Amino acid sequence: PFQVIMIPLFVLVKEFGWIDSYWGLTIPLIFSPYGTFLLRQFFKTIPLELEDAAKIDGCSWFRIYWNIMLPLSKPAMATLGIFVFMWSWNNFLWPLLIVSSLEMKTLPLGLAYFLGQYTIYWNLLMVGATIALVPVLVIFFFAQRYFIEGITLTGLKG
């Protein structure tokens, strides 16, 4: 869970001088153990014969990665991109730690302002939550073709 790496990550971001900046909000959330595991599992499913054929054709390691592995990994990259975007967009705890100025507050932090001590502005909270959902849906519909491509490629065995 994120709470395990939260304090060391905060210290690292503070040493880089990224407190209350876009760098501090985005860079630490891009790299995750989940992404490493997902891409490792995906690359293990790619047949080694493709790599061997490229070596026989005289391709360098970079060219094998750039021309063969990277295009085949579009579905996994799209999946990882959507998950990282959703986690970053909906994250409450990390921006609460990193951001101090009002201009840098994220949407989940802004939605918390509608929760008072004795009252909750349900109408404004629901409108804000609906608005917060729109970018996630747009990203999902944009990357949906990569999901379908991944399902199609997975079904082809032989």
> Where do the structural domains in the chain lie, given as residue ranges?
2-31+74-155, 37-72
The secondary structure of the chain in percent helix, strand, coil, rounded to multiples of 5, reads 80, 0, 20
Residue 48: C-alpha distances to residues 77, 78, 127 (Å):
20, 23, 50
Mean of all residue pLDDT scores within the chain: 86
pLDDT of residue 158: 47
For the cut 80, the answer to whether the pLDDT of residue 157 exceeds it is no
Architecture of domain 2-31+74-155: Orthogonal Bundle (1.10)
150: its two tokens: 């991944």
Q: Which residue has the higher pLDDT, 154 or 132?
A: 132
Please write the tens of the pLDDT for every residue from 30-55. 888 888 888 898 889 888 888 888 89
For the cut 80, the answer to whether the pLDDT of residue 154 exceeds it is no
